[in-house]
Amino acid sequence: MGEFVRLEVADGVATIRLDRPKMNAINARLRDELAEAARAADADPAVRAVILYGGERVFAAGADIKEMAELSYVEAAGHCRALQGALDAVAGIGAPVVAAITGYALGGGLELALCADFRVAGESAKVGQPEILLGVIPGAGGTQRLPRLIGPSRAKDLIFTGRHVPADEALDLGLVDKVVPDDQVYEAAKELAARYAGGPAAALRAAKEAVDAGLEVDLATGLEIERLHFSALFATEDQKIGMRSFVEEGPGKAKFVGR
């Protein structure tokens, strides 16, 4: 457990919990602890799904501007590379990842949420990429992951204006997948994560890798990626369990073991 990031595992679901008062501003220490927690969750065979959570009040209000304000060009390049690396570690978690967004998810906070597969937001949550208001642009994936999620013109609107987007609009944009009462955000994320915790772990990882990698290549290459992952799953115990259960009992009754 780090100073600002905790990793807690229960019933196959890991929670990566940001806890840096008051707004979970992402400084170098939190960034490094986040990367460490993501790698630990990915390496733990007991982890079948992951929740990103900043607590009841705020997800993450962005990068620590005081730490960044006087950086030189060389220092800024290194800072950006390190932050991108930390968020890449989160995006690289093989298990399904759900971001539980309370309060603000701004700048680096939204970029962290974009690394998840799904996003659940509280009714009063606000998201956005306000870096333009500081004279810079998003530097931890906002110009890349955001347009891939909601399309280039909608992403440009958020990035060019820096405006805060309320939860209902974020849902309409496809920026979040579900909006719930503020006090139910974590439980809603946990329910979503629990859907996957009992699933075939290798197949879920393969599906995530195939979709994510396929988005970056041409269709023919993507289909080859899919074929290789599909074929490899016939070496797993869960494939035998799943297909035998289907034949003998019908769909949806398999009890997977994660191997």
List the catalytic residues. 111, 131
Residue 43 vs residues 6, 113, 121, 206: alpha-carbon distances, Å? 16, 21, 27, 15
**CA atoms of 84 and 93, how far apart (whole Å):** 14
Q: Where are the domains of the chain?
A: 5-197, 201-249
Amino acid at 45: P
pLDDT value at residue 84: 95
* Side chain identity, residue 74: V
CA 122/CA 168 separation, integer angstroms? 9
State the virtual CA torsion across 96, 194, 248, 242 in degrees, nearest 10: 20
Q: Distance (Å, rounded) from C-alpha 140 to C-alpha 114?
A: 10
**Cβ proximity of 114 and 69 under 8 Å:** no
Q: Do 60 and 102 touch, CB atoms closer than 8 A?
A: no
What CA–CA distance (Å, rounded) separates 133 from 161? 8
> What number does CATH give the domain 201-249?
1.10.12.10
Return the CATH architecture of domain 5-197: Alpha-Beta Complex (3.90)
Q: Are β-strands 118-122 and 178-180 bridged in parallel, bridged antiparallel, or unpaired? A: parallel
Q: Whole-prediction pTM value?
A: 0.94
pLDDT of 253: 84
Averaged pLDDT in 10-residue chunks for the chain of 259 residues? 92 96 94 97 95 96 89 93 96 97 97 98 97 95 96 97 97 97 97 92 95 95 96 94 91 87
- pLDDT of the residue at 254: 87
DSSP 90-128: HHT-SS-EEEEE-SEEETHHHHHHTTSSEEEEETT-EEE
> In the prediction, which pLDDT does 212 show?
95
**Using alpha carbons only, what angle is made at residue 148 by residues 146 and 153, rounded to the nearest 5 degrees?**
70
* pLDDT given at position 251: 86
